Structure 1
Amino acid sequence: MKKLYSLTLLLAFALISNAQTVITQWNFDNVDPAASMLPTTGSGVFTKIGGVEDNLTSGLMPAGNPSTGKAYSVKTFPAAGSLNGTAGYQFTLSTVGFNDQINVTFDPRGSNTSSKWQGYEYTTDGTTWVAAGNNAGALTNSFTASPMVTLTLPAVCSNKANFAFRIVAIYDATSADYAPVGATSTYGPSGAWRIDNVTFSSGALSVNQNAIAGLKVYPNPVSNGKLFIETSANAEKTVIIYDLLGKKVLNTITANSEINVASLNSGIYIVKITEEGNTTSRKLVIR
């Protein structure tokens, strides 16, 4: 039954969003930092690595992307010139059953004194880590579009029970030390990173997939009949919701963020959002 259920879900995504299936997603919007570490879609484990600590203000995480939500922020990175590539974020999840390409998208941000160089690594056995590139020192002290980073991982990452991915602070490529985000700043361990909207998916990314800037779909799962869809533009949106058989169960055009989904039965759906010519599809859980 579980295999048939997964196959139906995969088919629905293929029909609606060009065969891209969300495996696991973190939106970090729970005000409780511990609760925000739990995935909002799918299964997986998010951990802090290399001694970094939560960066809280009055017990809360800072604003995310968009600013109406939260991002997960950490500080206490290694001292200058030490422990290159050890500190940051790690995401562990199973990709078993997903034989197509594995993608990861996320929105990063750094304070002016944090490392602007981020390294990307993956493991397929939970032990041996392989470099998957870096951001070429492109981290900035602001969120822009979403997703800000889109990576397609090597084929070896597909169908692995012990897959994990991590984002770590690395030295500037031209020196043996960390370089700060701020052009006139000095790197310091107290510099903070934020991350938001981390999504692991399987399948080819379509041209318009995730093209809506600042898109937030929450809460997910929905338990009170109200779904909120926010974007950077906050323009008029066409929202279509499909069930797992591809049947259209809701179709509305709205300029508001709140969508009434009280008429939908408990289960898994696909929500397709179109704004200003861009379209994004997301998995939606109704409880």
Structure 2
Amino acid sequence: MKKIYSLLLIALTSLSIAQNLVVNPTFSNVLTGWSSTGGGTGTNPLYVLPSHVTNEGQDDSFSVKYIATFTTGLDQKFSVVPGATVNVSFWYKAARTDGGATGNTARIWSLFTDPTSATPTTPINPTGTTSSSDDPLRNNNSYLAQASSWTQVTISSTVPVGATVFQLQLRAYNGATVSFDNISFSSPGASVLGAESFSQIDGMKMYPNPAKNNLFIETALNSDINVAIIDVLGKEVINSKVSNNAVNISGLTPGMYIVKITEEGKTSTKKLIIE
């Protein structure tokens, strides 16, 4: 009996010290380490980062919250080893802002890929699955249930043959108010892909916001930057190199836009209100 107890104690200890590789998992350091997933057209012009919250955390005061206007995507990437087990967990709250009992809320949409292949962004199905419909890391191609209090989701999977990167991603969708917190990822042999996970531009300032005639953008490097501005229908209305830190926006109609700023391979996206 003593031997069994000892083995059980060792097993529990091993589980308890599994290393969480997520950078800034509880958002105590605002959104450091997190990037927004790029791409999208139509009503989802770009995935954007949610707002940082300081009074509504699951385990402390901090979390992130998304009130649907655009689709949001929280993203970190990790190198992984084929055959290794991956464990993901996160806490969320979700409610339909239009009062609907069902519909799009949020989901985990995490992918295994091989960036060196001919199709670097194509998902490689996890071991034992055939598509998004039976992949728990993509929420079985469905949405999270509405939850008025913090609710935990835990998922285990196995890195498939050929995969070298795991993209941990959480999304929220139009029609929902969603909060995320306390996010965890662990896998033997895995490590954070810093260059991709920390793609936000250092020292970036964008002002004023709301704006009317000119938008000013400053960065720590103060090097050449490219600015793309996209309207709510996904149409790119401005795409230009910035000189003297100023972008002329006098020709834009009032409303909400997404600003995509690129400097030396790093990209940040910001919401912008035109008065």
- Place the TM-score, normalised by the shorter chain, in its bin: 0.3 to 0.5
Larger radius of gyration, structure 1 or 2?
2
**Normalized against structure 2, the TM-score is what?**
0.39
